[in-house]
């Protein structure tokens, strides 16, 4: 309800203004009584003078009026409408059966949406290749689904960015869940800022289909170390195969290396196939995954996909820093120096016999060497292991050197104990920002605690590919409890304590590097456990961890240029984006824009150069990393090859080749069922609901919507106006005219 309040903004005291006004009024009255004749004409002159003084006094008070109005603000409710061509598909050929678009249009005019529209501000955002402009519900019903691609993740992310800071009651998504841009469905598990309600727009049909098998995605590390095996995961999708097996062939540099038989359900679906890749020598390897054309298969341009792996050298330098030796560091050093795949160097802090002051003592491949923990010394290594230090052992300069080392791609292992994880430990230094957890410093919990892998640990690339790693782990005798995982961190193993499960192996990425924290100082007990054969669990575990945390040699070079594509699949006519990342050496800041050129080789052997746009991307560690972007639209199908080049200080640096396939037609036009995995996960991760039209309609009708009250203030000045100025001039002019009419001075 509106309310009003008078405001006077005069600077001079009110009593002073009133006294001046009264004095002026008395003086004018005395003057009129003393000198003017007693008639109506004189009374008019005195009235004009009085009106002038009164108006002038009002202006000097600087009056204003403030209005307060309380409004009821309705929250926003958004409808994200898929207008891509796949919405015209249906799982049933029956003429009476609605396709996805007809089901979406019916949902737009349902009672649930009408009920929401009466309580919220409803806006409909169409999307296909990108997010469109908002429309009313009536305008959205008249749209046509003719988009060539579906960028569901991109459109949903941009929708929330556009409405940042606004109250959103929910999002109704009318889509089939198919995204032609993303490599997999993991993006749907992100944390969304409002409940998302997804609708099953069709029922499973019984369409009799011709066979159509396709390579949906190929996922493998694009850099590998020579002599180490990596895994390639290929997603095969299709329908119409009647449940019969069909071959999937892997070719390396044009030669067949492996063939497997794949079987999909009779109703169609997808399946992941794993290939083991061996890398015997340093080289740029090209892999092609192909599904031979099946009888009666018509859509054949999506039966293969290409990718590349850059195999690098296996020189691994590892630096181990420890305070006074302890049981953990003793057994760890033995496991480290027994690993023939690395070149270790260890330093311990030992008290001087004469002065008692601690000094670094080295042993390893350079015994007796000097050490000062400088950026130059750290750059010679791929992994740095910090032992049990307190905050006084490492200076701010040392901590900054370690931070830059990890941000630039190095790996860090925190093999802590009572000092490192105590109250005066690493949490009091600047290294706390790279910790994968938060914890109040304190002593370890002691006892005998069983250890087990987490789900992330069992699937982790450092452990999943080692069949020799035991499923049941030996117990530990200490746990630094109370650790809460930071964003992006995950636990590899937990210890079962009387207070519940506590993480003891925690990992995260920081900048371009990796961090692993060990929250026990009794992991060495694994060395006491008998293993299968001659090797015990302790050295097995550390060999796998060191192998996983070892970045490739070029990642630690002075400069490194990486080129990659933004999408899983690309079709002719659809825009494709190439991104390059330029890693600079530690301590070097970007002083000027480097000119990066991307040369694209088409399937018809045409070389097309593109100038890449300079862009800065913020890394996880907070530092901005130079990046470069270019966009092009392919006009022919086949395998494309791209190489980026930059010249720095007269030296040309080339990226590894980036290979990708372009298909003749977009996957948007391929008949696919609803992606229920994405629709269910979007609803689950956002706190919304997934169901058929009738179920979501009931949910929207019963949805509790909270209205928000906002108080708005409006100020209006009552003295600063042309009307008052004209009024003052009118009174003065009127008095002057009257005086002249009577020949008065």
DSSP secondary structure, 385-448, as one string: EE-S--TTTS-HHHHHHHHHHHHTT-EEEEE--TTTTSTTSGGGSGGGGG-SEE----PPEEEE
* Residue of higher predicted confidence among 97 and 38: 38
Calculate mean pLDDT across residues 354-373: 58
Inter-residue contact 505 to 415 (CB < 8 Å): no
Q: Is 409 left (phi over 0), alpha (psi -120 to 50) or beta?
A: left
Strands (E), 498-637: 500-510, 513-518, 560-565, 570-571, 576-583, 596-601, 607-611, 613-618, 624-632
Helix ranges, 120-266 (H): 137-141, 152-162
**pLDDT, tens only, 676-717:** 889 999 999 999 999 999 999 999 988 887 777 767 677 777
Predicted local confidence at residue 557, as pLDDT: 44
DSSP secondary structure, 314-383, as one string: ---EEEEEESS--HHHHHHHHHHHH-TTSEEEEEEEEE-TTT--EEEEEEETTTT------HHHHTT-SE
pLDDT band at 259 (very low <50, low <70, confident <90, very high): very high
Of the candidates 620, 658, 661, 666, which has an alpha carbon nearest to the alpha carbon of residue 642? 658
pTM of the model: 0.49
Whether the Cβ atoms of residue 491 and residue 457 lie closer than 8 Å to each other: yes
Q: What local confidence, expressed as pLDDT, does residue 623 receive?
A: 43
φ, ψ for residue 213, nearest 5 deg: -110, 145
From CA 657, how far away is CA 307, in angstroms rounded? 10
**Residue 260: closest CA among 287, 292, 286, 229:** 292
pLDDT score of 367: 37
pLDDT value of position 582: 75
Distance CA 303, CA 215 (A): 6
Distance CA 180, CA 666 (A): 8
The DSSP secondary-structure symbol of 558 reads: S
Rounded CA gap, 676 and 199, in Å? Answer: 10
pLDDT at 51: 83
Phi, psi of 116 (to 5 degrees): -65, -40
3-state secondary structure of 469: coil
pLDDT exceeds 60 at position 314: no
Residues 382-420 pLDDT 10s: 889 999 888 888 888 888 888 888 887 788 999 988 998
Whether pLDDT at 441 is above 90: no
Q: How confident is the model at residue 376 (pLDDT cuts 50, 70, 90)?
A: low
pLDDT at 257: 92
Total residues found in the chain within this entry: 745
Distance CA 622, CA 314 (A): 30
pLDDT for position 688: 93
pLDDT at 251: 94
Do 293 and 212 form a contact (C-beta atoms < 8 A)?
no
pLDDT the model gives residue 280: 82
If you average pLDDT over every residue of the chain, what do you get?
80
Does residue 737 carry a pLDDT above 90?
Answer: no
The domains located in the chain, with CATH, are 3-70+714-741 (no CATH), 75-206+674-702 (3.40.50.410), 212-312 (2.60.40.10), 317-549 (3.40.50.880), 557-667 (2.60.40.1930)
Residue 346 near residue 318 (C-beta atoms within 8 A) = no
Specify the DSSP class assigned to residue 528.
G
Say whether pLDDT at 467 is over 60. no
pLDDT band for position 369 (cuts 50, 70, 90)? very low
Listed residue (348, 418, 350) closest to 388, CA to CA: 418
Q: 197-225: per-residue pLDDT in tens?
A: 999 998 765 555 678 888 888 888 776 66
Task: Indicate left, alpha or beta for 548 from its phi (over 0: left) and psi (-120 to 50: alpha).
Answer: alpha
Least confident stretch, 27-36, 364-373, 545-554: 364-373
> Cα 396 to chain center, whole Å?
30
The reported pLDDT for the residue numbered 40 is 75
Q: What is the pLDDT of residues 654-678, one digit of tens each?
A: 887 787 778 777 777 777 778 888 9
* Cβ atoms 558, 656 nearer than 8 A: no
Helical H runs in 513-588? Answer: 537-549
pLDDT tens digits along 265-276: 887 778 889 998
pLDDT computed for residue 533 by the predictor: 46
**pLDDT score of 675:** 86
């Amino acid at each position: 309800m509106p309310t009003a309040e008078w405001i006077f903004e005069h600077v001079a005291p009110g009593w002073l203004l009133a006294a001046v006004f009264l004095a002026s009024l008395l003086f004018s009255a005395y003057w009129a009584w003393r000198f003017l004749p007693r008639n109506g004409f004189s009374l008019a002159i005195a009235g004009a003078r009085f009106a002038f003084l009164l108006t002038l006094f009002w202006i000097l008070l600087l009056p204003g009026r403030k209005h307060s109005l309380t409004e009821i603000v309705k929250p926003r409710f958004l409808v994200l409408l898929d207008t891509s061509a796949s919405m015209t598909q249906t799982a049933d050929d029956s003429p009476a059966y609605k396709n996805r678009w007809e089901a979406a249009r019916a949902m737009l005019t349902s009672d649930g949406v009408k009920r929401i529209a009466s309580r919220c501000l409803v806006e409909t955002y169409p999307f296909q290749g990108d997010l469109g402009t908002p429309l009313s519900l009536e305008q959205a019903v008249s749209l046509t689904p003719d988009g060539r691609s579906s960028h569901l993740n991109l459109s949903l992310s941009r929708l929330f960015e556009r409405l940042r800071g606004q109250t959103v009651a929910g999002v109704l998504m009318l889509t089939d869940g198919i995204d032609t841009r993303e490599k997999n469905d993991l993006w749907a598990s992100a944390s969304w800022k409002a409940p998302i309600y997804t609708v099953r727009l069709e029922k499973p049909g019984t369409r009799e289909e011709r066979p159509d098998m396709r390579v949906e995605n190929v996922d493998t590390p694009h850099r590998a170390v020579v002599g180490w095996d990596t895994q390639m995961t290929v997603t095969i999708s299709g329908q119409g195969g009647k449940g019969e097996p069909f071959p999937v062939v892997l070719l390396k540099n044009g030669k067949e290396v492996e063939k497997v038989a794949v079987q999909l359900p009779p109703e169609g679906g997808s399946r992941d196939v794993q290939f083991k890749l061996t890398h015997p020598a340093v080289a740029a390897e090209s892999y092609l995954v192909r599904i031979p054309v099946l009888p009666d298969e018509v859509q054949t341009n999506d039966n293969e996909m290409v990718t590349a792996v850059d195999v690098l050298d296996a020189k691994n330098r590892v630096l181990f820093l420890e305070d006074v030796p302890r049981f953990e560091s003793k057994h760890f050093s033995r496991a480290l120096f027994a690993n023939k795949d690395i070149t270790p160097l260890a330093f311990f802090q030992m008290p001087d016999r004469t002065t008692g002051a601690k000094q670094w003592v080295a042993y390893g491949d350079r015994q007796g060497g000097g050490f000062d923990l400088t950026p130059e010394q750290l750059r010679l290594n791929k992994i740095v292991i910090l032992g049990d230090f307190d905050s006084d052992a490492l200076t701010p300069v040392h901590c900054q050197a370690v931070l830059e080392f990890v941000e630039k791609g190095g790996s860090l292992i925190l093999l802590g104990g009572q000092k490192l994880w105590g109250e005066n430990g690493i949490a009091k230094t600047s290294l706390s920002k790279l910790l994968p957890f938060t914890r109040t410093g304190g002593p370890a919990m002691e006892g005998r605690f069983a250890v087990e892998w987490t789900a992330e640990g069992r699937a982790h690339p450092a452990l999943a590919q080692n069949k020799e790693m035991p499923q049941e782990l030996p117990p530990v005798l200490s746990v630094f409890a109370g650790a809460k995982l930071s964003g992006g961190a995950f636990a590899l193993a937990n210890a079962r304590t009387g207070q519940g499960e506590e993480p003891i192996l925690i990992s995260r990425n920081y900048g371009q590097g990796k961090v692993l924290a060990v929250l026990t100082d009794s992991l060495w007990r694994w060395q006491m456990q008998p293993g299968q054969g001659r090797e015990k669990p302790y050295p097995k575990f550390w060999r796998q961890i060191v192998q996983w945390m070892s970045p490739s040699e070029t990642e630690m070079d002075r400069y490194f240029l990486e080129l990659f594509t933004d999408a899983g699949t690309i079709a002719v006519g659809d825009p494709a984006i190439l991104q390059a990342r330029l890693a600079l050496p530690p301590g070097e800041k970007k002083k000027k824009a480097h000119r990066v050129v991307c040369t694209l080789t088409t399937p018809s052997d045409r070389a097309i150069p593109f100038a890449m746009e300079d862009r800065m991307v913020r890394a996880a560690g907070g530092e901005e990393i130079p990046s470069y972007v270019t966009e092009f639209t392919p006009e022919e199908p086949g395998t494309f090859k791209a190489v980026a080049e930059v010249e720095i200080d007269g030296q040309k640096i080339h990226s590894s080749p980036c290979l990708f396939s372009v298909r003749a037609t977009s996957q948007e036009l391929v008949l696919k069922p609803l992606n229920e995995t994405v629709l269910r996960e979007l609803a689950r991760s956002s706190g919304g609901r997934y169901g058929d039209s009738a179920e979501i309609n009931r949910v929207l009708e019963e949805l509790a919507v909270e209205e928000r009250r906002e108080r708005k203030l409006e100020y209006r000045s009552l003295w600063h106006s042309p009307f008052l100025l004209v009024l003052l001039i009118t009174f003065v002019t009127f008095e002057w005219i009257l005086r002249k009419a009577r020949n008065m001075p």
